[in-house]
Amino acid sequence: MVVTFLQIWLAFVVGVMVVYTIRHWIFTFSRVYSRQRVSFADAYDEDLPMLSVLVPMHNEQAVAAQCLDAILASDYPAEKLEILPIDDHSQDETAVILARYAARNPRVKPVRADQRERGKSSALNVGLAHAQAEIVLVFDADYTPGRGVLRALAKGFIDPEVGAVMGRVVPRNTSRNMLTRLLSMERSGGYQVDQQARYNFDLLPQYGGTVGGFRRRLLDEIGGFDPRSLAEDTELTASIFRRGWKVVYDNRAECYEEVPETWPARFGQLRRWSRGHNAVASSNLLGVLTAKGLSFAQRLDGALLLLCYAVPPLLLSGWLAALLLFSMGHMPFAGGIALAFAVVLYNAFGNFAPVYQIATAEVLDGSTRRLYLLPFLFYMFPFNSWAITTGWVDSIGDFVKSRRPNWEKTKRSGMGVNEA
Amino acid sequence: MSESLIYLAFAVVVVLPMLPGLLEILFRKDDGALPIDESYMRDPRYLGKSLREKVRALAGKATVGVRMQFLGRRREYARVVSGIELPNDSRYEDVLLSRGAVVAGNGVTLLDVYAEDKVAIGANARLRTLAADGEASIGGGVRLQRWADAECNLTVGPDGNLGQSASSAQRLTVGSNVRFRRLFGRPVVIGSSSSVSALPPVGAPERVAMIACGGRNHVVSAHDVTEGETLDGDVIASGTVHVGAKATLKGSIKSGGDIAIGPGARVLGNLVARGSVLIDRGAVVFGHVFAEERVTLQPGAVVGTAALPKTAYGGRSMRLAVGSCIFGWVITEGDGETFVADA
């Protein structure tokens, strides 16, 4: 009985991994060999809409000035731009910095979110209450958008079906250490290949909550962001597709960010993402699978997107099942040779698939020498799996105990701004 | 012994893939952030403006008659002239930097030409690039290898190839049977100016909301706006959308298939199609036109307005009939051509 259960479970895990593997491969080949979909950033337009730019900030004295400087240097028409930095319970000099910018520039309108609970979702809700424009862009405080990024993002809304737009995130502090170099590669794979391919196939590119924006009426429709959510971006993505809107991804709206520079910071970030993402998945999976107007491929991609942070715990359970079967003298499947064959196949096409995706992204970006670091990504895999699994356990705990998660901010150094 | 060899082989297999990476970690040849040009702003006339800047830096104060290496290119020299007239079928081996007008006869072959005054090039010319601060005209049958840009009107005769881009700060007039990739002008006129019936469109709105109405009131599988009808709001359809003759749509259209705008119809918003877009005779689209396949403009069709220039983008191809007009930018990743429509 136990053996049968373990065998079925192991077969299920392998099946799920095969599905994700095929997805990775299709995305990678699409990015290399298919025609890429239209970028609205190509449009020439002097008739741009009014924009509200929200920048949630919690203890961001290290990066607040560089972010505001970058936005103020944008080529977006000054009379159509308002910048709303949201001071979210900061205890450092953030408020002083914002006040200084507001005094110098009337376009900067700081908002205090001290009356509400802390966290990005709450801060965004406070910012939205003050925003005047129909199109709202959001940047994290460690982001420094280039001069043309606001204009490029705003043009995504040329398409009346588009509810949100997402640009590309590029780490600024890549050279800091081994971790930042590997994270830079992961980001390349995630945006240059994964997001662009999903957009090419008219699937579900994700609104990432940082270099992006949305229609305000969409947020009015869903009643704003859920203050309890740690993954307001995933939540909005799911809401967008459930309501028949689309997300447009613009690979050329590139923006520098600061990636975590220490392993504990990265662990905390992944854990928070996993915790929030899995909570969103549990409340939106059925809705995406049954949403009207979505094709089968879109529903499948939506499900795979929502479940992606459940894969590492699933994989760990598969490994555990395989170990148990081995120790109980029951080789999985049809015996040793078949097992060896499965392991080889899985390593060649399963584990390696995301790595091929990253390699493809680096080639497309013209960064061929950093491809040599690819084998080191295998050593990131267990680390990532452990952090994500911890977050998954947290999300289960939140659900069972009706617990409200706290927003754990990723620590920033602000030191990488001159490195790019 | 054999056991040790196995361990050794295992260690080699584990370590070997890491060696190039270890060398990269040690010598750090590719550890910088991916380069982003943060000062980049999209400009349809970027090529022309960029060359002017470089030439001014290179030869801004150079005296007439000077010959110099051109922008660091090996075996290419630029000559500064006060103005020049080139006879038919002549060949000029140097890059031309002219303080005055450039007049070239038929069949000339040129490299890059930059003139601070007007330029007139005869038929069947071959040239690499052209930048003119004054008016510019290029005769029929031109073969432009890269691009042309003019601060004033630019006129191109029939039966040519405009390379990667042709742009003008003012009017760009392009003859029939011309191949192109990108055109920019305010406006881009196909054929002669007199063949365009609606310049600028009568009754243009003060502002075309780029984000349109954002309305969701017409989500359908396919849609027909019937002849003469006026419809408020966006149309979002998984299939083909047809706007009938003389109908008016006060909104944008998104189609999972094709979009056809009937004769004399008006669309106040944008057209976005996964398939093709056809804008029939005399129809006016005040917003952008984006099609992943083909965009076709029939005679008298107009995109954008003089006050609000827009973009027409055809992923696979762009066909512009003599008599059509676009205020703004025309782009195709595939084949662009102008043509004479059947009467």
Tell me the per-residue pLDDT of B304-326, one tens digit each, with 9 for 90 and over. 998 889 999 999 999 999 999 99
The pairs formed by A379-386 with CB atoms below 8 angstroms and a separation of 24 or more are A380/A182, A380/A186, A381/A351, A383/A263, A383/A266, A383/A267, A384/A270, A384/A312, A385/A312, A385/A315, A385/A316, A386/A267, A386/A312
Please check the confidence at residue B210 and state whether its pLDDT lies above 50: no
Q: Which among B288, B308, B309 is the nearest to A158, CB-wise?
A: B288
Q: With bands split at pLDDT 50, 70 and 90, how would you rate the model's confidence at A333?
A: low
Residue B223 and residue B322 share a domain: yes
Any idea of the CA torsion for A20, A24, A30, A36, to the nearest 10 degrees?
A: 100
Please check the confidence at residue A135 and state whether its pLDDT lies above 50: yes
Instruction: Give the end of a domain, one of B170, B186, B210.
Output: B170
The position carrying tokens 């490994």 is A319
Six-digit token pair at A154?
């705003």
On whether residue B133 sits in a domain, the answer given is yes
- For A379, nearest residue in chain B (alpha carbons): B18
Closest CA to A44 of B141, B32, B319, B288: B288
Other beta carbons within 10 Å of B296 = 21
User: What is residue B212's predicted lDDT score, i.e. its pLDDT?
Assistant: 43
On whether residue B26 sits in a domain, the answer given is no
Residue B252 and residue B157 share a domain: no
Q: Which SS3 state, helix, strand or coil, does residue B146 take?
A: strand
On whether residue B260 sits in a domain, the answer given is yes
Please check the confidence at residue B132 and state whether its pLDDT lies above 60: yes
Instruction: Over range B133-154, report the average pLDDT.
Output: 95
Task: For chain A, give the percent of residues with pLDDT over 90.
Answer: 57
Please check the confidence at residue A343 and state whether its pLDDT lies above 80: no
Q: With bands split at pLDDT 50, 70 and 90, how would you rate the model's confidence at A316?
A: confident
User: What is residue B222's predicted lDDT score, i.e. its pLDDT?
Assistant: 63
Q: Which of A26-35, A369-378, A400-409, B126-135 has the highest average model confidence (pLDDT)?
A: B126-135
Q: Do A38 and B308 touch (CB under 8 A)?
A: no
Least confident range from A27-31, A89-93, A236-240, A402-406: namely A402-406
Residue B62 and residue B159 share a domain: yes
Instruction: Give the end of a domain, one of B137, B154, B170.
Output: B170
User: What is residue B211's predicted lDDT score, i.e. its pLDDT?
Assistant: 43
Contacts of B313 in chain A (CB under 8 A): 38, 42-43
User: What is residue B209's predicted lDDT score, i.e. its pLDDT?
Assistant: 42
- For B236, nearest residue in chain A (alpha carbons): A161
Q: Find the distance separating the first CA and the last CA of chain A, reported in whole Å.
A: 58
Q: Do A47 and B207 touch (CB under 8 A)?
A: yes
Contact (Cβ atoms closer than 8 angstroms) between residue A89 and residue A58: yes
Contact (Cβ atoms closer than 8 angstroms) between residue B279 and residue B285: yes
Q: A 12-51 residues with CB below 8 A of B?
A: 35, 37-38, 40-49
Please check the confidence at residue A307 and state whether its pLDDT lies above 60: yes
CA distance A236 to A226: 10
Tell me the per-residue pLDDT of B10-28, one tens digit each, with 9 for 90 and over. 788 778 888 888 888 888 8
On whether residue B119 sits in a domain, the answer given is yes
Residue B230 and residue B166 share a domain: no
Q: Do A160 and B272 touch (CB under 8 A)?
A: yes
On whether residue B13 sits in a domain, the answer given is no
CA distance B330 to B327: 9
Q: Which among B209, B213, B309 is the nearest to A49, CB-wise?
A: B209
Size of interface A-B (CB pairs under 8 A): 164
Tell me the per-residue pLDDT of B63-95, one tens digit each, with 9 for 90 and over. 877 788 777 777 888 889 999 999 999 998 888
On whether residue B252 sits in a domain, the answer given is yes
Is the torsion defined by CA of B94, B100, B105, B107 positive or negative? positive
User: What ipTM score was computed for the predicted complex, to two decimals?
Assistant: 0.85
CA of residue B319 relative to chain centroid, distance? 13
For an interface test with A, give the residue of B30, B236, B318 to mutate (most A CBs within 10 A). Answer: B30
User: What is residue A104's predicted lDDT score, i.e. its pLDDT?
Assistant: 93
Q: Do B287 and A158 touch (CB under 8 A)?
A: yes
Closest CA to B239 of B223, B251, B253: B223
On whether residue B80 sits in a domain, the answer given is yes
Tell me the per-residue pLDDT of A26-73, one tens digit each, with 9 for 90 and over. 999 999 998 888 788 889 888 899 999 999 999 999 899 999 999 999
The pairs formed by A217-222 with CB atoms below 8 angstroms and a separation of 24 or more are A217/A134, A217/B214, A218/A163, A218/A164, A218/A243, A218/A245, A219/A128, A219/A136
The domain total for chain B is 2
Please check the confidence at residue A349 and state whether its pLDDT lies above 60: no
Q: Do B210 and A155 touch (CB under 8 A)?
A: yes
Q: Which of A375-389, B112-126, B185-199 has the highest average model confidence (pLDDT)?
A: B112-126
Longest dimension (CA), chain A: 74
What radius of gyration, in Å, describes the C-alpha atoms of chain A?
A: 22
Residue B334 and residue B232 share a domain: yes
User: What is the average pLDDT score of chain A?
Assistant: 88
- pTM of the predicted model as reported, rounded to 2 decimal places: 0.88
Residue B138 and residue B55 share a domain: yes
Please check the confidence at residue A420 and state whether its pLDDT lies above 50: no
Q: Which among B211, B238, B328 is the nearest to A157, CB-wise?
A: B211
User: What is residue A347's predicted lDDT score, i.e. its pLDDT?
Assistant: 58
Residues near A107 by beta carbon (within 8 Å), at least 6 away in sequence:
A72, A78, A81, A82, A83
Any idea of the CA torsion for A282, A9, A17, A320, to the nearest 10 degrees?
A: 100
Tell me the per-residue pLDDT of B30-67, one tens digit each, with 9 for 90 and over. 888 888 887 777 889 999 999 898 888 887 777 877 78
On whether residue B251 sits in a domain, the answer given is yes
Residue B225 sits in which domain range? 219-339
Q: Do A159 and B270 touch (CB under 8 A)?
A: yes
Q: Which among B28, B234, B288 is the nearest to A43, CB-wise?
A: B288
Tell me the per-residue pLDDT of B221-273, one tens digit each, with 9 for 90 and over. 667 777 778 888 888 888 899 999 999 999 999 999 999 999 999 999 999 99
Residues near B340 by beta carbon (within 8 Å), at least 6 away in sequence:
B176, B177, B321, B322
